[in-house]
DNA sequence: TACACTATGACAAACACG
DNA sequence: CGTGTTTGTCATAGTGTA
């Protein structure tokens, strides 16, 4: 079989038509990665059916830039297109293989809507192609501030659907800037109740006692995968003890930088400390002791990598009315089960969850939670790469289809704090995004055949 | 092998300013 | 408008201990 035929076969397996596959190979060449071909097909679907000059999401939050600034951004985009388009890339159409488009992140980062967010939002209308409306519903997540162009690729690979960017600080006491692409309805969402506390003191009143007046934080920064150790807090304590009260600005500024970076709290006189795992569980909407039983390093790591339950639950809440008999879920990059915990807290019964997760500690945490709270079936798979198209199709047949495909692919190579391997979407871990696309497309086409 | 701890100081993108 | 400044980030590699 020639390389071209092989690629066409793979693409057809994923649910693309033979014509589409042929076109993509003509445009991008037979040497291109499968991912580039998928991009190309998705792009032409979008280009062919939607008018890109008119935003499909009319949302006042995308209009929140002042006129001048917006005009400037548009100018820059034009310039970039000029710079990267056409001539330097041979005869490649710029829309297909150009990853340099900007994706505007709305400010404030409140998504399409939020519970109790005022002023009442102007009605958001979002159009999704008929063929891409669920079931299966899908829900994809990653860091909002990825490298430029990455979200354009996410969107393009996921049927041109506009991402929804939400900073969870609008829902809880910690920032968590994330983008979500999904084909769920966005009307009639309902938050989990009670609404979580939105300030540090509401969440942890006991820290008021030792909180210095010059620490003006009211919310935490993003909860990361590792925390400050004793030397950091000792250094702070020493600095405070060796200066007067109040300490000079030079000292407080340095200390504040550490506090913000590590999300420190004040637990005694001059004594700052890292948040405990159970406190992070609470902030992120997990049940008490959810991650208990593995070592602290693994608890922090898996918590740093997970969803904010309340944010995700708010988006998934629309499923409750649609599936009174429960759902079958394909959960990719499950981690400690943020999506499942959200469904559970929404009162949505999970008949079956096929969970793909490679990390042993996360798997154990999730399995323990499942055994203690669920009556449905859990099927565990280790690695997305080893999950073949045939196996996915067999699951679809066996279970009668998936109602929800949910997952957030690795951000390691996209996250700003990675100084070593922030090499973008083709990095070792983040490239697994394309496995999500592959598997989702197989599910879609297998369900369409039924 | 598993864990705890430490130092590291990159980088894009938003922002402020003239 | 360019240009310098600030901000914040689902992190990693290496070392030592048990």
Q: What is the 3-state secondary structure (H, E, C) of chain A?
A: CCHHHHHHHHHHHCCCCHHHHHHHHHHHCCCCCHHHHHHHHHHHHHHHHCCCCCCCEECHHHHCCCHHHHHHHHHHHHHHHHHHCHHHHCCCCHHHHCCCCCCCCCCCCECCCCCCCCCCCCCCEECCCHHHCCCCEEEEEEECCCCCCHHHHHHHHCCCCCCEEEEHHHCCCECCEEEEEECCCCCCCCCCCCCCCCCHHHHCHHHHCCCCCCCCCCCECCCCCCCCCHHHHHHHHHHHHCCCCCCCHHHHHHHHHHHHHHCCEEEECCEEECCCHHHHHHHCCCCCCCCECECHHHHHHHHHCCCCHHHHHHHHCCHHHHCCCCEEEEEECCCCCHHHHHHHHHCCCEEEEEEECCCHHHHHHHHHHHHHHCCCEEEEECCHHHCCHHHHHHHHHHHCCCCEEEEECCCCCCCCCCCCCCCHHHCCCHHHHHHHHHHHHHHHHHHHHC
**Once rounded to an integer, what is the mean pLDDT over residues A146-153?**
94
User: Residue A299: its pLDDT value, please?
Assistant: 96
Closest residue to B8 measured CA to C1′: A419
Tell me, in Å, how far CA of A11 is from C1' of C11? 34
**Is a pLDDT exceeding 50 seen at residue A159?**
yes
**Is a pLDDT exceeding 60 seen at residue A50?**
no
Q: What is the mean pLDDT of chain A?
A: 83
User: Residue A19: its pLDDT value, please?
Assistant: 67
CA dist A136 and A440 (Å) reads 9
Catalytic residues of A, by residue number, are: 411
- The domains of chain A are located at 108-188+304-449, 200-284
User: Residue A39: its pLDDT value, please?
Assistant: 64
Which of the nucleotides in strand C have any atom less than 7 Å away from a protein CB atom?
1, 8-13
User: Residue A96: its pLDDT value, please?
Assistant: 30
Cα angle A103, A107, A109 (rounded to 5 degrees) comes to 85
Residue A118 pLDDT class (50, 70, 90 cuts): low
Residue range A108-188+304-449 forms a domain whose CATH class is: alpha beta
Tell me, in Å, how far CA of A26 is from C1' of B12? 34
CA dist A416 and A398 (Å) reads 41
User: Residue A66: its pLDDT value, please?
Assistant: 34
**Once rounded to an integer, what is the mean pLDDT over residues A316-344?**
97
Q: Is the CB of A297 under 7 A from strand B?
A: yes
**Is a pLDDT exceeding 70 seen at residue A55?**
no
User: Residue A203: its pLDDT value, please?
Assistant: 96
Residue A31 pLDDT class (50, 70, 90 cuts): low
**Once rounded to an integer, what is the mean pLDDT over residues A222-241?**
92
Residue A27 pLDDT class (50, 70, 90 cuts): low
SS3 A125: strand
**Is a pLDDT exceeding 90 seen at residue A16?**
no
Residue A128 or residue A140, greater confidence: A140
Closest residue to B12 measured CA to C1′: A147
Contacts of A4 (CB under 8 A, 6+ apart): A25, A30
**Once rounded to an integer, what is the mean pLDDT over residues A96-124?**
67
**Is a pLDDT exceeding 80 seen at residue A369?**
yes
**Is a pLDDT exceeding 90 seen at residue A156?**
yes
Q: Is the CB of A421 under 7 A from strand B?
A: no
CA dist A384 and A109 (Å) reads 31
Tell me, in Å, how far CA of A417 is from C1' of C13? 14
A53-67, A171-185, A382-396: segment of lowest average pLDDT: A53-67
Q: Where do we find the tokens 């995308």?
A: A62
**Once rounded to an integer, what is the mean pLDDT over residues A274-278?**
95
User: A65-102, pLDDT tens digit by residue?
Assistant: 333 333 333 333 333 333 332 222 222 222 333 334 67
A133-137, A192-196, A199-203, A387-391: segment of lowest average pLDDT: A133-137
**Once rounded to an integer, what is the mean pLDDT over residues A334-356?**
98
**Is a pLDDT exceeding 70 seen at residue A136?**
yes
Closest nucleotide over all strands to A71 (CA to C1'): C1
Closest residue to C12 measured CA to C1′: A420
Closest nucleotide over all strands to A299 (CA to C1'): B3
A7-21, A202-216, A421-435: segment of lowest average pLDDT: A7-21
**Once rounded to an integer, what is the mean pLDDT over residues A253-268?**
93
**Once rounded to an integer, what is the mean pLDDT over residues A186-201?**
95
**Once rounded to an integer, what is the mean pLDDT over residues A337-343?**
98
Tell me, in Å, how far CA of A297 is from C1' of B4? 8
């Amino acid at each position: 079989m020639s390389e071209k035929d092989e690629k066409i076969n793979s693409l057809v397996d994923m649910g693309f038509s033979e014509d589409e596959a042929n076109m993509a190979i003509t445009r991008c060449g037979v040497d291109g990665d499968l991912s580039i071909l998928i991009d190309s097909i998705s792009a032409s679907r979008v280009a062919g059916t939607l008018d890109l000059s008119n935003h499909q999401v009319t949302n006042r939050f995308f209009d929140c830039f002042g006129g001048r600034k917006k005009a400037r951004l548009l100018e820059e985009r034009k310039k970039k297109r000029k710079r990267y388009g056409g001539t330097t890339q041979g005869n490649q159409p710029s829309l297909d293989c150009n990853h340099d488009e900007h994706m505007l992140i709305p400010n404030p980062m409140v998504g399409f809507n939020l519970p109790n967010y005022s002023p009442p939002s102007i009605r958001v209308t979002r159009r999704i192609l008929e063929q891409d409306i669920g079931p299966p519903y899908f829900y994809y997540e990653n860091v909002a501030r990825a490298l430029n162009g990455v979200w354009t690729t996410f969107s393009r690979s996921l049927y041109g659907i506009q991402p929804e960017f939400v900073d969870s600080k609008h829902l809880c006491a910690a920032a968590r800037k994330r983008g979500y692409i999904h084909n769920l309805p966005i009307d009639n969402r309902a938050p989990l109740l009670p609404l979580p506390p939105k300030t540090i003191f509401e969440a942890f009143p006991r820290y008021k006692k030792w909180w210095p007046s010059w620490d003006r934080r009211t919310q935490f920064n993003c909860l990361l995968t590792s925390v400050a150790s004793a030397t950091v807090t000792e250094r702070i304590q020493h600095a405070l003890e060796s200066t007067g009260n109040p300490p000079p600005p030079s000292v407080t500024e340095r200390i504040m930088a550490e506090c913000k970076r590590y999300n420190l709290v004040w637990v005694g006189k001059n004594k700052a400390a890292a948040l405990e795992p159970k406190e992070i569980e609470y902030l992120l909407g997990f049940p008490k002791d959810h991650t208990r039983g593995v070592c602290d390093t693994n608890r922090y790591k898996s918590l740093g990598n997970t969803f904010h339950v309340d944010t995700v639950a708010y988006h998934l809440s629309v499923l409750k009315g649609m599936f009174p008999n429960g759902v079958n879920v394909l959960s990719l990059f499950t981690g400690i089960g943020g999506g499942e915990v959200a469904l559970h807290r929404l009162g949505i019964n999970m008949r079956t969850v096929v969970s793909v997760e490679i990390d042993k500690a996360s798997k154990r945490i999730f399995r323990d939670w499942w055994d203690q709270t669920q009556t449905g079936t859990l099927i565990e798979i280790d690695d997305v790469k080893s999950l073949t198209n045939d196996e996915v199709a067999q699951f679809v047949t066996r279970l009668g289809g998936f109602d929800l495909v949910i997952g957030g692919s690795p951000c390691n190579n996209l996250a700003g704090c990675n100084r070593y391997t922030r090499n973008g979407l083709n990095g070792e871990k983040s490239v697994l995004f394309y496995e999500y696309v592959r598997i989702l497309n197989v599910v879609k086409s297998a369900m369409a055949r039924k």
